[in-house]
C-alpha cells in the first residue's frame, strides 16, 4: 500500500494559476507587481534557485528584476542597492539569495530591506509579528509546508508535531505556524537525546537538517504525515531528502517526495507574498 505522495509540484501549479488571475486583475488597475532578486557570487545552487524564481515570476505575470553582484562586492555597496530598491515604486518584493559571502553581514543586509518588501519574511519585525500571531508575510518554506499538510487532509489541531532542525528559516517559524493551528510542538536538534524515540511520537514529522536519509522508516509512528525539507546530493549524483524515502513510505500515511515536494511550494509562497506586497503597497 504505502503512503500517499504529497505532490508539491502539482499543488504549486494550482496556486500559481490562482495568482496569475490575481495579477491580471491588478494589472487592470495599472498595478504591475515586481520582484527584485539579488544574487552575490556564482554559487551554483543559488543560481538554480534564482532561475526558478525568475521562471515562476514569468508564469504568473510578475516582473522580475535580477541583480547579479560579484562575490567580492563590498557590503556597503550591496546595502546601498537595497536602499535604492526600497525606494523603487516598480519593485514590491526584495529578496537577497542566501548564503552570502563571508565578508558580508547577513543580519545587516536583512535589516536593510523595507519590512513591507520583505517577501522572504526574514526581517526581525516580520519574525516578531509571526511570533505574536499577527504576521504580514509568512515565511515561504513553512507556509508551503502548512499547505501540504492541509492537502494531506490532516487537521493539525491536537496533533503531536515534531520538527527536526531549529533553523531561523524553517524550524523556528514552522513551530509558530503549527502552534497557531493548535498543534503540540517539539523541536529536535543536534543536542536532543533519543531523537529516534521523539520522532516515533509524531503524528506530523517535519525534517529540515540537511543530513541525507537520516530519518529511517522505523523512526516513524505508523500513519504519520512526513514532510521532508532536506535536499542532498549523494556521491552517485542522486538527489535525496533527510528522510529515507524507501523505508519511510511503508510506514507513513503521507510523505513529500524529494525533489518535487517542499521546493516548488516554497517558490509558490514567495510568489503569493510578492502579490500580497503589491496589494499592501497599493492599499488594496
- Which residue in the list 114, 117, 118, 120 is annotated as catalytic? 120
For the chain, how long is the longest CA-to-CA vector? 57
Average pLDDT over residues 182-204: 98
Q: Is 97 a catalytic residue?
A: yes
Domain limits, the chain: 30-114, 140-263
Q: Tell me phi and psi for residue 110, to 5 degrees.
A: -65, -40
Query: Which distant-in-sequence residues (6+ apart) come within 8 Å of 191 by Cβ?
Result: none
Asked whether residue 2 carries a pLDDT value surpassing 90, the answer given is no
3-state secondary structure 137-200: CCCHHHHHHHHHHHHCCCCCCCCEEEEECCCCCCHHHHHHHHHHCCCEEEEECCCCCCHHHHHC
Q: Is 53 a catalytic residue?
A: yes
Does CATH place domain 140-263 in 3.90.1150.10?
no
- Which residue in the list 16, 53, 117, 221 is annotated as catalytic? 53
Q: What is the pLDDT of residue 1?
A: 60
Q: What grid cell was written down for 187?
A: 523541536
Asked whether residue 275 carries a pLDDT value surpassing 80, the answer given is yes
Q: Identify the residue whose cell numbers are 490532516.
A: 154
194-214 pLDDT per residue, tens: 999 999 999 999 999 999 999
Same fold, 30-114 and 140-263: yes
Q: Is 155 a catalytic residue?
A: no
Q: What is the pLDDT of residue 45?
A: 87
Average pLDDT over residues 6-27: 98
Q: What pTM, to 2 d.p., does this model score?
A: 0.96
- C-alpha to C-alpha distance for 154 and 6, rounded to whole angstroms: 12
Query: Which distant-in-sequence residues (6+ apart) come within 8 Å of 173 by Cβ?
Result: 121, 127, 130, 138, 139, 142
What is the pLDDT of the chain when averaged over all its residues? 97
Return the exposure string of 99-124: e unless at least 16 CB atoms fall within 10 Å of the residue's CB, then b: ebeeebeeeebbbbbbebbbbbbbbe
238-260 pLDDT per residue, tens: 999 999 999 999 999 999 999 99
Average pLDDT over residues 130-153: 97
Task: Report the percentage of the chain scoring pLDDT > 90.
Answer: 97
113-130 pLDDT per residue, tens: 999 999 999 999 999 999
38-86 pLDDT per residue, tens: 999 988 889 999 999 999 999 999 999 999 999 999 999 999 999 999 9
CATH fold of 30-114 reads Rossmann fold (3.40.50)
Q: Which helix (H) or strand (E) holds 75?
A: helix 75-86
Amino acid at each position: 500500500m504505502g503512503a500517499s505522495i504529497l505532490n508539491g509540484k502539482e499543488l504549486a501549479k494550482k496556486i500559481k494559476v490562482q495568482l496569475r488571475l490575481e495579477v491580471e486583475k491588478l494589472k487592470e488597475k495599472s498595478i504591475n507587481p515586481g520582484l527584485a532578486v539579488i544574487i552575490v557570487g556564482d554559487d551554483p545552487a543559488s543560481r538554480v534557485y534564482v532561475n526558478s524564481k525568475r521562471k515562476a515570476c514569468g508564469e504568473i505575470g510578475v516582473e522580475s528584476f535580477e541583480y547579479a553582484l560579484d562575490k567580492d562586492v563590498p557590503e556597503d555597496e550591496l546595502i546601498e542597492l537595497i536602499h535604492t530598491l526600497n525606494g523603487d515604486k516598480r519593485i514590491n518584493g526584495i529578496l537577497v539569495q542566501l548564503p552570502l559571502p563571508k565578508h558580508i553581514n547577513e543580519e545587516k543586509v536583512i535589516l536593510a530591506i523595507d519590512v513591507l518588501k520583505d517577501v522572504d519574511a526574514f526581517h526581525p519585525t516580520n519574525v516578531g509579528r509571526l511570533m505574536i500571531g499577527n504576521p504580514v508575510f509568512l515565511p515561504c518554506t513553512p507556509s508551503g509546508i502548512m499547505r501540504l499538510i492541509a492537502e494531506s487532509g490532516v487537521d493539525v489541531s491536537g496533533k503531536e508535531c515534531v520538527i527536526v532542525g531549529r533553523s531561523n528559516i524553517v524550524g523556528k517559524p514552522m513551530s509558530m505556524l503549527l502552534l497557531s493551528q493548535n498543534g503540540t510542538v517539539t523541536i529536535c536538534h543536534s543536542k536532543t537525546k533519543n531523537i529516534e524515540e521523539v520522532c516515533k511520537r509524531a503524528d506530523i514529522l517535519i525534517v529540515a537538517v540537511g543530513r541525507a536519509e537520516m530519518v529511517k522508516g522505523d523512526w516513524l509512528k505508523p500513519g504519520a504525515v512526513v514532510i521532508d525539507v532536506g535536499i542532498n546530493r549523494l556521491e552517485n549524483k542522486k538527489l535525496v531528502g533527510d528522510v529515507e524515502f524507501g523505508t519511510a513510505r511503508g510506514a507513513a500515511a503521507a510523505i513529500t517526495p524529494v525533489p518535487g515536494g517542499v521546493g516548488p511550494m516554497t517558490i509558490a509562497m514567495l510568489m503569493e507574498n510578492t502579490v500580497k506586497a503589491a496589494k499592501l503597497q497599493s492599499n488594496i
